[in-house]
């Protein structure tokens, strides 16, 4: 409505961005709902990763609908300027929008703080396994910054009488949205390919497996997030040479039980018994190495 009144390219870019944001929120909700479906014979690990698929679509929509359109419209207005009318209406709409978006961004920051703990914002966005919070956080940041660009562009247009500043504001908004879309797409690509559990979670898994007398040690460990709340754990574990099959099976069952208690999202655990041979051990496994190194420290004191 404000664009129809003023004819501002910057307002049009923010309007398109708002429409894209609304569609993106709907996509994230659809992905979250579909990810809760039970596993099938065709998808035996479930549908948890579908949240990553829909989040990647969000990045594509943000880039194509928001960034490309805004840059195109801005360049068009720079080459063929059109007068911005009723700038008071544009300023009023932008100021109200900035206030509302700031409240939304504050809420997103508050919710994200609960999940990120002491991690930096960059680390939180990089390591978060659930895509919804980073998506909302990045979109709110882009929306608030984009509104700032639009406001500056309209101020310059009004003060100088040069309507090309309005087009420049639209280009700046498009570049901003493109950057956010690329960052978010890169993170979702990493999750779609498959990310392991965080180092802290991996160490907790090793400690849980080795927390009973049945397992001598973890030889190597591999984890994979098949969804934000579903973790696949595979490990080769060392058992005592003289144990019989019944003892080994009972020991593995006990280790799996401890693992699920320590890491509730570890819904799929596969432990392979073996005999420990230092020559064949995976000395590069950081989680196993960290736990064993921590245990050796008191002995050296």
The structural domains of the chain, ordered by start, are 2-193 (1.20.1510.10), 199-300 (3.30.70.1350)
Contact present, 139 and 180 (Cβ < 8 Å): yes
Q: Phi and psi (nearest 5°) for 138? A: -65, -40
Pure H helices in 161-285: 164-193, 199-209, 245-262
Q: Which residues pair with 272 in a beta bridge?
A: 236
Q: How is 219-250 classified by DSSP, letter by letter?
A: EEEEEEEEETTEEEEEEEEE--TT--HHHHHH
Render each residue's pLDDT in the chain as its tens digit; 301 residues: 555 666 677 777 777 777 777 788 888 889 889 888 888 888 888 888 898 999 888 888 878 778 888 888 889 888 888 887 777 888 888 888 889 889 988 988 888 888 787 888 888 888 888 888 888 888 888 889 988 998 998 899 888 888 889 889 889 988 998 898 888 888 888 888 888 988 889 999 999 999 888 888 898 899 999 888 889 999 999 988 888 889 999 999 999 999 999 999 998 999 999 888 776 666 556 777 677 766 665 544 4
* Confidence (pLDDT) at 301: 42
113, 125 contact by CB (below 8 A): no
Return the pLDDT at 10. 77
269-289: pLDDT as tens digits = 999 998 887 766 665 567 776
pTM: 0.77
Question: What beta strand segments (E) does the chain contain?
Answer: 217-227, 230-238, 268-274
Backbone φ and ψ for 273, nearest 5 degrees, come out as -75, 145
Cβ atoms within 10 Å, residue 278: 7
Among 215, 254, 259, 211, CA closest to 234 = 259
Collapsing DSSP to helix, strand or coil, 129 comes out as coil
- The answer to whether residues 225 and 205 touch, using CB atoms and an 8 Å cutoff, is no
């Amino acid at each position: 409505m404000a664009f129809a009144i003023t004819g501002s390219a910057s307002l049009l870019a923010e309007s398109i961005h708002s429409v894209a944001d609304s569609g993106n929120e709907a996509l994230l909700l659809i992905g979250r709902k579909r990810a809760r479906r039970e596993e099938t014979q065709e998808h035996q690990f479930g549908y948890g990763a579908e949240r990553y698929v829909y989040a990647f679509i969000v990045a594509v929509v943000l880039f194509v609908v928001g960034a490309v359109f805004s840059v195109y419209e801005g360049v068009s207005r720079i080459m063929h300027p059109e007068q911005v009318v009723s700038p008071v209406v544009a300023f009023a709409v932008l100021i109200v929008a900035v206030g509302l978006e700031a409240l939304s961004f504050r809420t997103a920051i508050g919710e994200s703080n609960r999940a990120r703990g002491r991690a930096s914002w960059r680390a939180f966005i990089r390591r978060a396994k659930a895509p919804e919070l980073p998506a909302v956080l990045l979109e709110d940041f882009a929306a608030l910054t984009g509104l700032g660009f639009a406001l500056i562009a309209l101020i310059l247009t009004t003060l100088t009488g040069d309507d090309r500043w309005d087009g420049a504001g639209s280009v700046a908004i498009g570049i901003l949205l493109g950057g956010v879309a690329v960052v978010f797409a890169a993170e979702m690509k990493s999750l779609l390919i498959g990310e392991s559990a965080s180092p802290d979670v991996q160490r907790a898994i090793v400690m849980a497996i080795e927390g009973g007398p049945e397992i001598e040690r973890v030889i190597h460990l591999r984890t994979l997030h098949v969804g934000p709340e579903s973790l696949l754990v595979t490990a080769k574990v060392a058992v005592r040479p003289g144990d019989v099959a019944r003892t080994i099976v009972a020991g593995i069952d006990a280790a799996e039980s401890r693992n699920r208690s320590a890491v509730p999202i570890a819904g799929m655990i596969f432990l392979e018994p073996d005999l420990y041979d230092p020559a064949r051990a995976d000395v590069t496994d950081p989680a196993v190495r960290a736990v064993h190194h921590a245990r050796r420290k008191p002995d050296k004191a």
